[in-house]
Amino acid sequence: MEQDWKNIPFLFFYWVLFLKSRKSKTKINLMETIKSGSIDALYERIETFGKTTLELSKLKTVAITSKIMTTLVARMGLMLMVSMFLLVSSVGLSLYLGDLLGKLYYGFFVVGAFYFLISIIFYFFLHKWVEKPVSNLLISQILD
């Protein structure tokens, strides 16, 4: 009788293991293990389940991390291309406006003032335009 009370925590853990395995369509014959009294088989199954769960968690983490990093690298490449386009276009526009205004540095002042206004607007709407979409992107990548 004393032996039965000692096995209750193991039986409870095994029951939880059994319920979890049923969700993944794996059949574990609980009653055979309990009737045979083979605690070694129980330990072996618990150990196998733990190792499998750990390995699955590692693989999921690697998959999510690679998905996020791939997305970020692709977007950084796109941002680099857009930045280069803006830089070259800004210099060209500055030279053109400077030619129209009579002195080249006037064109650079006008383009600089335009970028200053854009950066002030960007500062006030930073959360709405940048932080929220980036956090939503990361969350959607993690949950998918």
pLDDT tens-digit profile of 14-49?
556 555 555 544 445 555 555 555 677 777 888 888
Residue 18 covered by a domain: no
- Residue 53: how many other CB atoms lie within 10 Å: 12
Structural domain for 75, as ranges = 58-143
pLDDT at 26: 46
For the question of whether the overall pTM of this predicted structure is more than 0.95, the answer is: no
pLDDT at 2: 47
Tell me, letter by letter, the H, E, C secondary structure of the chain: CHHHHHCHHHHHHHHHHHHHHHHCCCCCCHHHHHHHCCHHHHHHHHHHHHHHHHHHHHHHHHHHHHHHHHHHHHHHHHHHHHHHHHHHHHHHHHHHHHHHHCCHHHHHHHHHHHHHHHHHHHHHCHHHHHHHHHHHHHHHHHHC
pLDDT at 123: 87
Residue 132 covered by a domain: yes
pLDDT at 37: 59
Residue 90 has pLDDT above 90, yes or no: yes
As a whole number, mean pLDDT of residues 91-102 equals 95
Residue 51 covered by a domain: no
- Rounded CA gap, 65 and 12, in Å? 35
Residue 112 has pLDDT above 80, yes or no: yes
What single-letter amino acid sits at 56?
Answer: L
- Rounded CA gap, 142 and 127, in Å? 21
Residue 107 covered by a domain: yes
Residue 40 covered by a domain: no
What single-letter amino acid sits at 18?
Answer: F
Residue 21 covered by a domain: no
The count of structural domains within the chain is: 1
